[in-house]
Structure 1
Amino acid sequence: MPYLETVSDLSPASLARFDDIIDVRSPAEFADDHLPGAISLPVLSNAERAEVGTIYKQESPFRANRVGGAIVARNIARHLETALADKPKTWRPLVYCWRGGMRSNAMGTILSSVGWPVGVVKGGYKSWRREVVDGLEHDEALLPVRLVDGQTGTGKTALLHALAEAGGQVIDLEGLANHRGSAFGDFGDSAQPAQRLFETEIWTRLRAFDLSRPVFVEAESALVGRRRVPRRLWQSMLAAPRVEVHAPVAARAAFLQRAYGDVISDPHRLNASLDKLVALQSKETVAAWKALASAGRYGELAAELIEQHYDPLYARSRKRREDKPVQVVEVDEISEATLASAAQDLLGS
């Protein structure tokens, strides 16, 4: 007999009981956000979902269900013949749609009829979204954040990676937002995730952490590119003790050349990034920086940007904070070895 398990517990342990988590919503809905680790097997494409929705509103729910049902059946059959063709008898999927209704139950019923033990998320994606919002926006408890702070080019993100490698608990906001948090921060054609997906990535990590231990986060503004840091995490960052990384200008300039190699290799993109600084620097200064870039004098450009633009910005922003760093990390060069050593020191302190 077909068997569908209604699943309301979306904890990591509960989700781990299933071999695959299947999102049957449209590709656009999946791109906006989805459960951690989910795969997209839509029962309605973007265009098909729009078509059925139009019929529902302009004609009748009955005709929309009849047309939609036929499309859903064909798409589920295609998934059985392709993506699911080699799944063994013991395979255990968890299925969800927007609110745990027709789409997920259609997929779940057919999969269970094949003989697979199937779970269907009660309340669908909306149940997951409610958990994320409760955890990141409504919960008032501060998180045990420790900020990794320092001037531009001191390797803060690289230090976060070293901390993670050494067993530390880390949230890399720039990595999750796909943006380096500055005028040079975008990754070209690689877009930022949707806001909701950004929040899901943060929450997925937070709920797996031991909150009796510190969570290392790079000091950022409330916006990373166009993605907003969720309220609870932002309030925790404002109240967090700071670790400050210090390095000489020459070492920082050399590091920036390595870290921003993708920008340097694209003259149009580099000039467009420099143009964003006109609001804070004179046109003559920006023109001089473009001339350095055109001449391939990237080390000089990086040093001037550090000394004339980013360090003064950093100094002004730190004047607004009255707290002193709880620890200062001094590095003569920014390398894997020095950052690994710094990470060990921070985890041991």
Structure 2
Amino acid sequence: MKEMTVEELFTIKNPIIIDIRSPIEYKDGSIPGAINVPLFTDEERQVIGTIYKQEGAAVAKWKAMEMVSPKIPVLLQTIKKYFSNDTELIIHCWRGGMRSKAVVTFLEFAGIYSWRLVGGYKAYRHYILEQLPTMLPNQAIVLHGLTGVGKTEVLKMLKEKGYPILDLEEMAGHRGSIFGTIGLGDGHNQKTFDSLLFKGLQEIKGADYFLVEAESKRIGKAVQSEELMDKKMRGININLNTPINQRVKHLVAEYVQPYQDEPWYFEKIADGIEKVLRRVKNSDIKQSLIQTLTDRNFPDMIRILLESYYDPRYDHAKQEYEGEFFEIFAENPVEATEKIASKLNELSFHNRELNNQQ
């Protein structure tokens, strides 16, 4: 049986990773790009676990064999669809135990030679948590700006131009606000965030710096590490300024237009407004928000939220950052991207000059 360590896994170009854990295990956290071909359903896994606790390992193994045996042909056919001679096929379960050993053995009998990931997902999780603090580039360049200036769009455009980007909102599956999961599902948990951060850092390996959005330590369900927050707090800061009309237009296009006809949308917005109302003391603002919600006047609602809720809170958050601030004024994300790219090139040249003088 061929075996591969987690360290070796990251030396292979475009591996085909088959995660044979149950769907609930896979949903809780997985290796990015892994394909879930479960050996057991969630219910079957629960039954086997109960038998293991109540009747012992031998009885549980026998029950597992009874469950798996009828599935073997379909299981192998499913995995075979992803196999090709110019790729490496890697099989893993929770900790590289009986499930992955059995599937690798079944595949060998069928003439398909695959690798078993030693330690399984547990070893992968341990490895990335150990590596993450050591992978951050030396310098953070932090993009600031009031809600709606288009920071995420600017980061994506800069990434297309080849700049080293960490899109933390995408990794968290959350936009970092009360309305942050609209259109994005429930958001990612910590395990998924860590895996995507590890993948993102691999992609910018060798860069002297990285660009990242100014976010609070918690983004939805995920929490940034102390090492990452420390890099950001001591980084170079770029503050993006955009007219409020453009900000409202941008947020309507992002949060309203794609989803407003969905049956869940109004309830989701109402729930968010209720949370805001608990934090707003001004009765006139409260009444205005309630009225715009009743009228479904989302553009006016967004303007009120910006001027009376989000903007006042933003200045306080900026004060936490120690580094120098550079101001960028732009009408839209395209113009902002060009101006920030120009500033980045200027800063990069300046940093090289400093390094040469040392």
Say which SS state the counterpart of residue 285 (structure 1) adopts: helix
User: Structure 1 residue 239: deviation in Å?
Assistant: 2.1
2:158 maps to 163
Residue 190 (structure 1) aligned with residue 185 (structure 2): yes
Distance 1:159 1:89 in 2: 40
Residue 205 (structure 1) aligned with residue 175 (structure 2): no
**More displaced, 111-120 or 289-298?**
289-298
1:301 maps to 301
Question: Structure 1: any 5+ residue segments left out of the alignment?
Answer: none
User: Structure 1 residue 212: deviation in Å?
Assistant: 3.3
2:140 maps to 145
Q: Which one-letter code corresponds to 2:160 in the other structure? A: E
1:310 maps to 310
Say which SS state the counterpart of residue 335 (structure 2) adopts: helix
Alpha-carbon distance change, 88 to 206 in structure 1, aligned in 2, over 3 angstroms: closer
Instruction: Please state which structure has a larger fraction of its residues in helix.
Output: 2
Alignment of 1:23-172 (within 5 A): 23-84=19-80, 87=83, 92-136=88-132, 139=134, 143-172=138-167
User: Structure 1 residue 64: deviation in Å?
Assistant: 0.9
1:288 maps to 288
Distance 1:57 1:175 in 2: 40
Q: Which one-letter code corresponds to 1:53 in the other structure? A: G
Residue 8 (structure 1) aligned with residue 25 (structure 2): no
Distance 1:167 1:340 in 2: 12
**More displaced, 309-318 or 259-268?**
259-268
Does structure 2 retain, via aligned residues, the 8 Å contact 1:244–1:329?
A: yes
Matched-pair identity in %: 26
Say which SS state the counterpart of residue 37 (structure 1) adopts: coil
Say which SS state the counterpart of residue 276 (structure 2) adopts: coil
Distance 2:19 2:322 in 1: 47
Q: Which one-letter code corresponds to 2:61 in the other structure? A: N
Distance 1:95 1:128 in 2: 13
Q: CA RMSD in A?
A: 2.5
Does structure 2 retain, via aligned residues, the 8 Å contact 1:166–1:343?
A: no
Distance 1:239 1:323 in 2: 5
Distance 1:130 1:121 in 2: 14
* Match for residue 214 of structure 1 among 201, 205, 209: 209
* Match for residue 169 of structure 2 among 174, 194, 198: 174
Does structure 1 retain, via aligned residues, the 8 Å contact 2:17–2:90?
A: yes
2:271 maps to 272
Distance 1:293 1:67 in 2: 56
Alpha-carbon distance change, 211 to 233 in structure 1, aligned in 2, over 3 angstroms: farther
Q: Deviations over 1:299-340 (max 9, x none)?
A: 333332222221111122223445431x32210x224x3244
Say which SS state the counterpart of residue 21 (structure 1) adopts: strand
User: Structure 1 residue 101: deviation in Å?
Assistant: 1.1
2:328 maps to 329
User: Structure 1 residue 231: deviation in Å?
Assistant: 3.1
Say which SS state the counterpart of residue 253 (structure 2) adopts: helix
Distance 2:324 2:344 in 1: 19
Question: Structure 2: any 5+ residue segments left out of the alignment?
Answer: 347-358
Distance 1:250 1:220 in 2: 23
Say which SS state the counterpart of residue 271 (structure 1) adopts: helix
Say which SS state the counterpart of residue 146 (structure 1) adopts: strand
Q: Deviations over 1:137-175 (max 9, x none)?
A: 5x4977532111111111111111111111112111111
Q: Deviations over 1:218-238 (max 9, x none)?
A: 100011112212332222222
Distance 1:141 1:166 in 2: 21
Does structure 1 retain, via aligned residues, the 8 Å contact 2:292–2:298?
A: yes
Alpha-carbon distance change, 129 to 88 in structure 1, aligned in 2, over 3 angstroms: closer
1:22 maps to 18
Q: Deviations over 1:226-255 (max 9, x none)?
A: 221233222222222211101122222222
**More displaced, 94-103 or 73-82?**
73-82
Does structure 1 retain, via aligned residues, the 8 Å contact 2:135–2:201?
A: no
User: Structure 1 residue 136: deviation in Å?
Assistant: 3.0
Alpha-carbon distance change, 125 to 82 in structure 1, aligned in 2, over 3 angstroms: closer
2:342 maps to 345
Q: Which one-letter code corresponds to 1:230 in the other structure? A: S
Alpha-carbon distance change, 17 to 223 in structure 1, aligned in 2, over 3 angstroms: closer
Distance 2:84 2:306 in 1: 57
